[in-house]
Structure 1
């Protein structure tokens, strides 16, 4: 009996010791950088389980020793399984990232002009969300695009720092910028319109590389950038973001959601940027960064209607006062030849919206209008301009026989442009004659689902330009995907066209001492583009990888390029008597690790050339190689780090003849930034870091003739290399600087 009692006690103590060595596992679950609450976390075939809290945290306690299958599941996300084992008293801390379920995958609209799941779109669309741009916060969306592969914000003037966006080596006028799918930024606003958009209201940015004229018409040659703003219903009550830098820049973003009535919800946004610090680190007596005072006000209203029909309208107003020039410049020198300065006053308004007709069929009316007023002096030369653009289109979407998604659109665009240059003089060159153009058009598109894995998109567009006549723009796209969507292959062939307006698009035509000359009447440019795209998704227990590779080829006819070299005293604009080619390869990769580390990287290798009279030359201000990266790590205490950067290969630069002392090509250069972010509560967040940590700036002699900007006493015909010229520009003069910001969000 005693032996039996001792055996039972020994058995009991043994079991207690085994189960007494309990274990635990804890961590955080996120998706696309956002925490996921209420995720089910449990051990398969046991009763042990829990759910994440509102901050995405979970903890499983009292786990006996052994080997288990940990399962994570939540509606809208792909479930995740992982084998874990415990041998005694272990406390594991592990973070997880869930992928969105394909049934609820990201919706895009830019490729086909209608909502479609991104992986199902026959047109490759890149999507960049708010979290991406927060990794390197900037005062404007123009600067924020610098970390996207194949896209380069190009500054066109050393003095006033205005710029445009290059896509795959093509200049800014070939990039079509939209807000909520409506053409807002074009002409004058290609240069100035990308600043002042309140970033607190931007939900995502969709990018399509290659011609999109079939859907969007003129200017959509190199690609489109579609800025999608937030819906009032999905926006915090209040969001604020204030940032300052050691250079003295101050940027403030405010977003406010309000409810005007039971049926009317609104979203108000304000952006204010101020920089008034005269800095001349390269000692050329010119400001390294233009002094700016800018305010932008944005208001968007959603009106609730029967049957959930859409009706929204948005407006934006922007005022900017910017100047750059000699350090001694004051307002009283504006427009004089005493002290050189470039002073630009800009007033701009925009409105756009969508109204779904109260019909059984899917018919919507989309509209936009904008006015741009510019009062500026470039030295003693005045440039006053007014541009008004009105746009409207009816779009009819019809599903036919389950396999056809048919789209029919009728569009009209009106453009009024007047300025103080000879571009708007009459045939005799004596009286002012504003340029007015009408552009009616019609487009057809049919998206054909051949089967579950093959899709074909056919589209064509006809426009009639009142100045240039008929223009046709066809396109064809094909997409194949594997059964699990882990492999996607796309082929695109399309046509683009563009009607150029030099003074609104090319800042070099306004600044400096070069004379502008037109060689014949400029005809519309046309281009043909072919693009091959392959996407591969790889999922393992510890990381998730997306590879996105593309090859592109664009052939231009009638291309309009500024000629700096035939006569170094002039900028000659003419249709190219030959052809131009832009071709290359690009690769993007996203790697998301379950431990909180994410890596986004990309590289583009390209060759952009001009062939005229059988002579091939490389295009000015176009790099042959570019790379971007973003490396982020989230620590367990709401602390994160972001390391972002880009690298560019040499570009051919515009010189003032053989005796120009400046280098013919830019060097290899890289702009790198690091940021640290601490989230204290759900509402408060502080961030800070260093921009341009390598302190790269262009050569100090980038502005030629900086000591004599009015060319006093110089015969520029005989000695062109002595002329004042600020067009030698490939990167910002801003060097290393610290920045600090604070965000407050009220939900």
Structure 2
């Protein structure tokens, strides 16, 4: 606590003593100063170009698919070292920690688990399968120009894994990126993060962006005194290089490479690398090597034909106590599409090919004889067609269809329908209907299968999951004193068949994987409100209601989805003071969520209501510098008893009838929030344009 007070005192004395280089910010009167006579024209000033909803650039107001846009500036209100933590600021998106020891996790959209969320980088499926657990924390914020979020199935465009939604990370364009960008941050827990990027031109028609991210956290902290690290130690380096080219008639061409290395550890406080894989001191040690390549090329033809491609190589070397987990994944992807306009019809016709190789040392890659190793080697061919028809100024219709062929699951069909009705610039109604599918992903995406605390059982040959989704979105722009109040409301319903589920309840020592003999449902509603007052205060509030459950054919009761709170939300308040000083108060709140408890568990089955709040004070200077500091987890919330029997992690004394009459076993899956208590942070940014 003393370190936090020292940081806060230092920042206060630094920021508020500056006068000569201050930037005076007055209340935003941009809309008033333009003196636009028609209120309708005022609403057109706020628009963005989006790609994710329809695969081609289109203004957000004209897109029949609801797309949410978040810029790098938005995420800087609560600075984090990676995308995984940053997206917590998005309403309805939850970065879920799946292990209270090594702190790996995945991203949930509308309560659906990580394998249902497709993570794209520049429209390419770089992050999938194994890396939904191990690759997300390695994506630094320094790469990001903006993030686009589509909630609901998008399989008609993006194929398998896009059942719950799509998060598209749009990286900076080397042609327009700043010449130099530096962001250095540290915390009172000694978490150190460096983001560095520089841009250089090669001749007059090419530019290259070189970005480096380094994150280091090496201090063992155990504030809850269970003899386990509260946060996983990490050493991570990410190097990113992107090239953009200027071509005739503004044709597109880009290429990017990224390398990631991470050394992550969580476990007992006395662990060191000599204990890796031993049964003397428990530790979870994970080495990750990852290479990514992706790009696009527009053919030099009169017709608009674009080819996109990506490749990723992911090597995992891990120990969970005495259990080794070694995995190798290679994914190659390419697609070519033709974009053509016929009158009021925008047509896209494309073909895709994706090949996934996956091998590990678990039963997930064994042949049917249970002895022979049989790596996954799965090619998927696909074709898709989309027609966006602007019927008139008020109505736009989108029809889409995708056909995929997989050698195991054979033909998969994915239709899509979207309709946008906008009678005037103030009101927009969007209705989306579509199907999603997910080919069998290996159970090793689920971290609980790797810890060694439970035996994994695959009950039968798993079939591909299918889903049907409907989504209704309404946007209302309310003029108020020269400003706009933006209301964005949605209701959604998704119905799953053949859902692949892990049964944690039947046997506390096992995870039993099988297709659900019944159905699953994800339904709910969300509301986002944005407003800027006449004085320099802007507010962003979001709330989501979820009902995510499964129901078996032979049972009347439904089972609530794990880690899917009924109520959740986000809040962000920004107040701008004179002399370039900004105060940001941000956070998330979560209602009770069902947790994976053991038989006769003394811990509650549902988490309490809690909020993770942060406050930041920043000051900008005309020279390009910005200094910021603040406090994270302001309310000092951490889960209680995240580990079962931390004093016996190798289950050596499970059968003790006196001290363990309920036969509890060591378990790491109960934790539902970070174990990091209140802490301070301090950072500095510099941008040379």
TM range (shorter): over 0.9
* 1:70 CA drift (Å): 11
Determine the structure 1 residue equivalent to 2:491. Answer: 551
Q: What SS is found at the alignment partner of 1:359?
A: coil
Q: What SS is found at the alignment partner of 2:448?
A: helix
* 1:224 CA drift (Å): 0.3
User: Quick one: distance in 1 between partners of 2:632 and 2:26?
Assistant: 36
CA contact (8 A) 2:364 2:444 kept: no
Matched, 1:590 2:517: no
User: Quick one: distance in 2 between partners of 1:634 and 1:200?
Assistant: 24
Matched, 1:507 2:447: yes
Q: Which residue of 258, 267, 274 maps to 1:316?
A: 258
Matched, 1:451 2:392: yes
Q: Which residue of 452, 459, 477 maps to 1:537?
A: 477
* 1:597 CA drift (Å): 1.0
* 1:679 CA drift (Å): 1.1
Matched, 1:122 2:67: no
Matched, 1:113 2:59: no
User: Quick one: distance in 2 between partners of 1:116 and 1:721?
Assistant: 59
Matched, 1:208 2:169: no
Matched, 1:164 2:125: no
Determine the structure 2 residue equivalent to 1:8. Answer: none
CA contact (8 A) 1:569 1:720 kept: no
Q: Which residue of 641, 656, 669 maps to 2:610?
A: 669
Matched, 1:476 2:437: no
| TM-superposition CA deviations, 1:80-116 (whole Å, max 9, x none) | 899xxxxxxxxxxxxxxx9987378310000000000
| TM-superposition CA deviations, 1:112-171 (whole Å, max 9, x none) | 000000011000000001111010000111000111111110000011000000100101
User: Quick one: distance in 2 between partners of 1:100 and 1:363?
Assistant: 36
Q: What SS is found at the alignment partner of 1:508?
A: helix
User: Quick one: distance in 1 between partners of 2:577 and 2:165?
Assistant: 37
Bigger CA radius of gyration? 1
Q: 1:623 to 1:70 in 2, by over 3 A?
A: closer
Q: Which residue of 438, 451, 456 maps to 2:379?
A: 438
Q: How does 1:139-538 map to 2 (within 5 A)?
A: 139-400=81-342, 402-483=343-424, 485-538=425-478
Matched, 1:708 2:628: no
Alignment gaps of 5+ in structure 1: 1-53, 60-68, 83-97
* 1:498 CA drift (Å): 0.6
Q: What SS is found at the alignment partner of 2:142?
A: helix
User: Quick one: distance in 1 between partners of 2:613 and 2:26?
Assistant: 36
Q: What SS is found at the alignment partner of 2:200?
A: strand
User: Quick one: distance in 2 between partners of 1:588 and 1:655?
Assistant: 33
CA contact (8 A) 1:126 1:206 kept: yes
User: Quick one: distance in 1 between partners of 2:295 and 2:376?
Assistant: 26
* 1:609 CA drift (Å): 1.0
CA contact (8 A) 2:25 2:580 kept: no
CA contact (8 A) 1:512 1:724 kept: no
CA contact (8 A) 1:630 1:643 kept: yes
Q: How does 1:620-635 map to 2 (within 5 A)?
A: 620-635=562-577
* 1:422 CA drift (Å): 1.6
Q: What SS is found at the alignment partner of 1:119?
A: coil
* 1:635 CA drift (Å): 1.3
Matched, 1:571 2:571: no
CA contact (8 A) 1:476 1:494 kept: yes
* 1:592 CA drift (Å): 1.6
Q: What SS is found at the alignment partner of 2:487?
A: strand
User: Quick one: distance in 2 between partners of 1:196 and 1:234?
Assistant: 24
CA contact (8 A) 1:298 1:316 kept: yes
Matched, 1:102 2:44: yes
| TM-superposition CA deviations, 1:340-393 (whole Å, max 9, x none) | 000000000001101001111010000001000000000000000000000000
User: Quick one: distance in 1 between partners of 2:388 and 2:94?
Assistant: 32
Q: 1:568 to 1:287 in 2, by over 3 A?
A: same
* 1:328 CA drift (Å): 0.4
User: Quick one: distance in 2 between partners of 1:513 and 1:213?
Assistant: 35
* 1:58 CA drift (Å): 9.1
Which structure has the higher relative contact order (CA within 8 Å, separation 6+)?
2
User: Quick one: distance in 2 between partners of 1:496 and 1:719?
Assistant: 46
Q: What SS is found at the alignment partner of 1:256?
A: strand
* 1:305 CA drift (Å): 2.1
User: Quick one: distance in 2 between partners of 1:384 and 1:618?
Assistant: 33
Q: 1:276 to 1:454 in 2, by over 3 A?
A: same
Determine the structure 2 residue equivalent to 1:693. Answer: 634
User: Quick one: distance in 1 between partners of 2:438 and 2:70?
Assistant: 27
CA contact (8 A) 2:655 2:663 kept: no
CA contact (8 A) 1:325 1:341 kept: yes
User: Quick one: distance in 1 between partners of 2:276 and 2:58?
Assistant: 51
* 1:501 CA drift (Å): 2.1
Matched, 1:560 2:500: yes
Alignment gaps of 5+ in structure 2: 1-21
User: Quick one: distance in 1 between partners of 2:662 and 2:307?
Assistant: 54
Q: What SS is found at the alignment partner of 1:482?
A: strand
Q: What SS is found at the alignment partner of 1:645?
A: strand
CA contact (8 A) 1:503 1:510 kept: no
| TM-superposition CA deviations, 1:161-220 (whole Å, max 9, x none) | 000001001011100000011111001111122222231231110000000000000000
| TM-superposition CA deviations, 1:471-511 (whole Å, max 9, x none) | 1110100000023x110001111100012323442111101
Aligned residues: 662
Q: Which moved more, 1:672-681 or 1:540-549?
A: 540-549
User: Quick one: distance in 1 between partners of 2:339 and 2:305?
Assistant: 7
| TM-superposition CA deviations, 1:588-639 (whole Å, max 9, x none) | 0100224221100000011111101233121122100001100001112100
Q: Which residue of 665, 670, 679 maps to 2:620?
A: 679
CA contact (8 A) 1:569 1:716 kept: no
User: Quick one: distance in 1 between partners of 2:508 and 2:616?
Assistant: 44
Q: 1:56 to 1:461 in 2, by over 3 A?
A: farther
CA contact (8 A) 2:23 2:579 kept: no
| TM-superposition CA deviations, 1:288-321 (whole Å, max 9, x none) | 0000000000110012222221110011100000
User: Quick one: distance in 2 between partners of 1:680 and 1:727?
Assistant: 45
User: Quick one: distance in 2 between partners of 1:588 and 1:243?
Assistant: 30
User: Quick one: distance in 2 between partners of 1:297 and 1:378?
Assistant: 28
* 1:71 CA drift (Å): 5.9
CA contact (8 A) 1:198 1:254 kept: no
* RMSD across aligned positions (CA): 2.1
Q: What SS is found at the alignment partner of 1:138?
A: coil
